[in-house]
Chain A
Amino acid sequence: MNGELIVFFILALVAIGSGILMLNLTKVVHMVIALVFTFLSIAGLYVMLSAEFLAFVQILIYSGAITIIMLFGIMLTRHSDRTESKIGVPRTVLVLGGIVAFFLVMFFQINDLSFGEQATVLHVDNTEKIGVELYSKFVIPFELTSVLLLVALVGAIVLAKRDDEEEAKDNE
């Protein structure tokens, strides 16, 4: 067992553990915090997978931006901090059954999946490569993404913005 594997297991354990923790915690804020750990460990895994730039982005966006806006969301909606699941047993069974089945089916397939190669060159100039690819080969989706972000921006503003008094009356 080499060090890499150990690191991997630690990260994986943290990711899964926090994930499960998220499922079992009752306080919403705690859940979010738990999830931050998952995101962070995933970033760690990215590093192991020779994707430093991605790891960086992961931390920035997930552990940072998304978690923060979620927290804002929690704050803004000022609901009771605690939440417990009230779904019925049949549905839990349905969901769990489905997930277990899905997991097992997939697990048996990927369990021994291996192609035995790796891109050794990935580490070298990782960020630059990404940049080059992004601005040459993938320029069209990239630009499309910009439109998408614009849409999300506008949409978020439109929807979340508090209305004028006048408009407030316009409820059905």
Chain B
Amino acid sequence: MSSVPLSVYLVLALILFCIGLFGALTKRNAVIVLISIELMLNAVNINLVAFAKYGINPGITGQIFSLFTITVAAAEAAVGLAILIALYRNRKTVNVDEMDIMKH
């Protein structure tokens, strides 16, 4: 019986998720926005791994799920960054709030 209960991990993940979300929604720098999204995905991973150990039906599946998540996150980060670079090349900016030529 571990002395670290499941709920504590979950709360931690929740906090990280919220931090990531806040960053993604408010940070002006596009790179930070992308990184914040990575943080959100990390929070998910904590959940998955914690559930894999303390969940209702503990098993390796959670860990495998988080492996996939990590991979996908990496791919997403790479593509996001590539897009950002393409954009930067044209517009010379990475400020998210300046990317508004399409609106209304």
Contacts and interface: CB of A to CB of B under 8 A. Distances in A.
Q: Do chains A and B touch in the complex (CB under 8 A)?
A: yes
Contacts of B99: none
Contact of A77 (B15, B78, B85): B85
Contacts of B59: 119
Secondary structure type dominating chain B contacts: helix
B7 A112 contact: yes
Interface residues of B, number: 75
A119 B46 CA distance: 16
Given A45-B46, A69-B78, A145-B71, A77 B88 contact: yes
A115 B55 contact: yes
Q: How large is the interface on A (under 10, 10 to 19, 20 to 34, 35 or more residues)?
A: 35 or more
Secondary structure type dominating chain A contacts: helix
Nearest to A111: B7
Contacts of A126: 60, 63
Contacts of A102: 18
Contact of B16 (A19, A50, A79, A171): A19
A50 B72 CA distance: 22
A122 B58 contact: yes
Given A45-B12, A115-B56, 16 more contacts: A4-B2, A12-B12, A22-B23, A22-B36, A23-B22, A66-B35, A77-B84, A102-B18, A103-B14, A111-B7, A122-B53, A149-B71, A149-B75, A152-B75, A159-B79, A159-B85
